[in-house]
Amino acid sequence: MAAPTTFSGEAWAELRLADARDVPHIHSLIHQMAEFELLTDLFAATHELLASTLFPTPQPAPFTSFTALILDLSPSPASASADTVGSRRLDLSASSPLADPEAAAFPSPRGGGRVTAGFVICFPNYSTFLAKPGLYVEDIFVRAPWRRRGLGRMMLSAVAGRAAEIGMGRVEWCVLDWNQNAIDFYEGMGAEVFKQWRICRLTGAALDKYKGTGTGSQEEEDAGGKAQ
């Protein structure tokens, strides 16, 4: 059954663990996210890199390493599987049919008329004060036709719930300081937004210059500093 390009009445959303068959859609969704953020110049992901970094052999247990989740929408109810992390019924009866013009490009590899509409990437982080792992949510993305229907909340709630259930002490993510709608939404979900912390990043040539710098005398390091 091909994915429909319009949904009406009801739709069933499932957030599920991804596998290597989802790599092409994950790649396309990351590119859409880069376009949305006007950051396509930083986009360097390939199918091969995604497959080898997100779906290595053997695959670590979910949420113990890099973890990719897929949001599939189905025109008919589907029972939860072992891969299901969250689900939600969407009531579309009050609105005109939902048009998803890209649906033909995003058939879910799970079939059954499902269309892939979003993804989550998360991985464990660590709190030294708690001496416990937490979960960092790197990305939550929903394709445009499916936004503003509570799916972001479902995805973040489901991931947070799973993290809490496996004993993680925190769930963390980032937001832009000018995105007051998002800040209000996250605070409404119970999150604290830290105003004073800033993220520092070494990357590219600025990172590569540290190769081989692990050992050296004080004098060598000071000389190196002057040369930069």
Query: Minimum CB separation from its own copies for residue 2, in Å?
Result: 26
**H or E, element range at 16:** strand 10-17
Least distance in angstroms from the C-beta of 175 to its own copies: 5
State which of positions 91-130 bind its own copies (CB under 8 A): 91, 121, 123-130
Beta carbons of 154 and 15 less than 8 angstroms apart: yes
Q: Which stretch binds its own copies (CB under 8 A): 1-9, 93-101, 103-111, 183-191?
A: 183-191
**Closest-CA residue to 114 (of 82, 72, 149):** 72
Least Å distance between CB 4 and its own copies? 20
Segment interacting with its own copies (CB under 8 A) among 1-9, 95-103, 109-117, 148-156: 148-156
Residues with Cβ within 8 Å of residue 21, at least 6 apart in sequence: 109
What are the angstrom distances between the C-alpha of 181 and each of 89, 142, 149, 178, 224? 24, 16, 15, 9, 46
Residue 210 is a catalytic residue = no
- Identified binder of its own copies from the candidate list 85, 115, 117, 142, rule CB under 8 A: 85
Q: Which is nearer to its own copies, 181 or 219 (CB)?
A: 219
When asked if residue 19 is in the footprint of its own copies (CB under 8 A), the reply is no
Phi then psi dihedrals of residue 38, to 5 deg: 55, 40
Q: DSSP class of residue 214?
A: S
Q: CA-CA distance, 156 to 143, in Å (whole number)?
A: 16
What part of residues 49-68 is at the interface with its own copies (CB under 8 A)?
49-50, 53-54, 65-66
Site for its own copies contains 43 (CB under 8 A)? yes
Interface with its own copies includes 86 (CB under 8 A)?
A: yes
Q: Which listed residue (132, 144, 147, 184) binds its own copies by CB under 8 A?
A: 132
Tell me which residues in 189-218 interact with its own copies (CB under 8 A). Answer: 189-203, 206-218
The burial class, CB within 10 Å (0-12 / 13-18 / 19+), for 119 is buried
| Distance (Å, whole) CA 150 – CA 153 | 5
Residues identified as active-site: 186
